[in-house]
Amino acid sequence: MWERLRSIWTVPDLRNKILFTLGILLLTRVLANIAIPLTAAEQKALFSLFNSNSNQNLGQLLGLLDVFSGGSLQHFSIIALGVYPYITATIVMQLLQPIIPALQNLSMQGEAGRLRFSQITRIIAVPLAFLQALGNCALYQSQHVLQNFSLIDPQYALETWTILVVLTAGTMVLVWLGELITEKGIGNGISLIIFAGILSGLPQYIQQGYVSSSTSSGSASSIVSIAAFVIVGLITIVGIVYIYQGQRRVPVQYPTKRMVGRGMLVGSAQTTYIPMQVNSAGMIPLIFAQSMLLFPSILSQYLGTSNTAWLKNAAQWVGTYVVNTKLWWYWAIYFVLVVVFTYFYAYVVWQQQNIPENLQKQGAFIPGYRPGEPTSRYLESILTRITLAGALFLGIVAVLPYIVGQQLLSSAALLIAVGVVLDTVRQLEAQMVMRNYSGFLS
């Protein structure tokens, strides 16, 4: 292992990519500690909001947002929104792609189409970031964290609009930094920024879990609880790695011809395989599902203080019976969303790869199946079967913390962290193979 790391460090351009990635991630942590100025009373209210257990549903919502923002939301920093608006924009674009022919054509235009698709996604992310900033600030206002928040009052309008613009710009700066990592560094930049936020908040959550367990059950029991958590966490990580690495290898034969003697062509076949992943969607379905559930949660918290009676009652009903994390049907909704998004994203990625058509163009075939439509149906049937295992696994692990009780770190965050690490290691492996080294994993 250390020899592999030394080999990576001896390659100048690869070393520069790693240092560039680490430098950008360090910059994001610096930005996370630049707070928007608050008065002493507002800072006290903000601290009480994140450390009070009076509203369990609100605590779950803020805790989840704060984990994926790397503590930025708790400190109300300039990047308090994180990259969630960009992820929401990505969801919108993925949902619209099969519906709008123009977007579908963009996905088939190679690198130029991909760049145009990304540009449209960034444009959509700007108003979504502004709306999320408005929702978060309104939520803070309802909890008396922002006492001078008003869009129309001339006395406070400039301060309010400044906060909204700064939060929106902070999200877009994070998106830009993430794209810099993707282009000039190692790994997927947006995923790495989320991973850095989760990792930065881990010590604090471990400390909170230790203090709460010590207070409730004594020091001896707290040690046992933490040991049990570590064991369950390690088993979960092993399961995540097993599912992420699992694949079905479909054999493919490529015909080749070589010249023998005086113009004689002798045919032969080169056999390879298509690696179809059990979890080809990665951690994206979890982010999709959580984003879908966060919107009604934020809306219900905001409208819960409305002066209009029917809006207030509707918001309270949604908060009590729909997005209440203590109820089993919330777990069921979360589970179903994860399974549906896993299948959706797996099929979207599969359609973009267009493997059956590419095989037919190259003259390749799967033994026992004719090229074209029969091959497509066969591969799609395999994709449906193996994705079922990955979707059920993701769904179970996602709702596991709600079933067994609160843990130090959510399984969703753990899945994202492990997935990002595995994806980054794969990219390091590919970089090493390109440079004729023995590889990082072997």
pLDDT digits (tens, 9 = 90+) for 237-289: 888 888 878 888 888 887 765 555 555 454 556 778 888 888 887 777 877 78
- pLDDT at residue 176, as a whole number: 93
**Choice between 8 and 162, residue whose per-residue pLDDT is larger:** 162
Do 156 and 54 fall within a single domain? yes
Q: Do 285 and 143 share a structural domain?
A: no
Look at residue 24 and tell me if it is in a domain.
Answer: no
What total of structural domains would you count in the chain? Answer: 2
Work out the percent of the chain whose per-residue pLDDT is above 90.
7
Cα(228)–Cα(225) distance, integer angstroms: 5
d(CA 14, CA 19): 9
Handedness of CA 335, 287, 290, 28 (dihedral sign): positive
**According to the per-residue pLDDT averaged within each range, which of 18-27, 102-111, 361-370 is highest?**
18-27
- Same-domain pairing of 165 and 296: no
Are 135 and 252 members of one domain?
A: no
> 178 and 50, same structural domain?
yes
**Residue 218 included in any domain:** no
Pick the last residue of a domain from 149, 169, 185: 185
Same domain as 54, residue 139 = yes
Do residues 292 and 158 share a domain? no
Secondary structure (H, E, C), 256-275: EEEEECCCEEEEEEEEEEEE
Pairing mode, if any, of strands 247-260 and 264-277? antiparallel
Domain membership of residue 19 (yes or no) is no
Q: Which of 147-151, 160-164, 241-245, 403-407 has the lowest mean pLDDT?
A: 403-407
262 and 396 housed in the same domain:
yes
Ramachandran angles phi, psi of 239, nearest 5°: -65, -40
Distance CA 115, CA 133 (A): 27
Domain identity same for 38 and 127: yes
Give the pLDDT band of residue 175 (cuts 50, 70, 90). Answer: very high
Q: Token digits for 85? A: 């608006």
Contact 92, 124 (CB under 8 A): yes
Residue 417 belongs to a domain = no
Question: What is the average per-residue pLDDT within 389-413?
Answer: 73
Domain end among 134, 169, 185: 185
Same domain as 378, residue 257: yes
The helix (H) or strand (E) run that includes residue 247 is strand 247-260
Task: Report the alpha-carbon distance of residue 107 to residue 113 in Å, rounded.
Answer: 6
Q: Does residue 404 register a pLDDT over 70?
A: no
> Of 206 and 161, which is predicted with more confidence?
161
Q: Which range, 4-18, 48-62, 180-194, 226-240, is most confident?
A: 180-194
- Percentage of the chain modeled with pLDDT above 70: 77
Choose the final residue of a domain: 160, 185, 210.
Answer: 185
pLDDT at res. 23: 92
- CATH code for position 365: 1.10.3370.10
Is position 240 within any domain? no
Q: What is the pTM of this model?
A: 0.76
Supply the pLDDT for residue 124: 92
Q: Is residue 57 part of a domain?
A: yes
Residue type, 297: S
321 in a structural domain: yes
Specify whether 261 is located in the same domain as 177.
no
- pLDDT tens for 281-317 read 777 787 778 777 777 776 776 676 667 777 777 777 7
Asked if 41 and 181 sit in the same domain, the reply is yes
Number of C-beta neighbours around residue 256 at 10 A: 11
Which range of residues forms the domain containing residue 325? 246-406
**Per-residue pLDDT tens for 219-238?**
555 666 667 667 767 777 88
Least confident of 142-146, 291-295, 397-401, 425-429: 291-295
Residue 197 belongs to a domain:
no
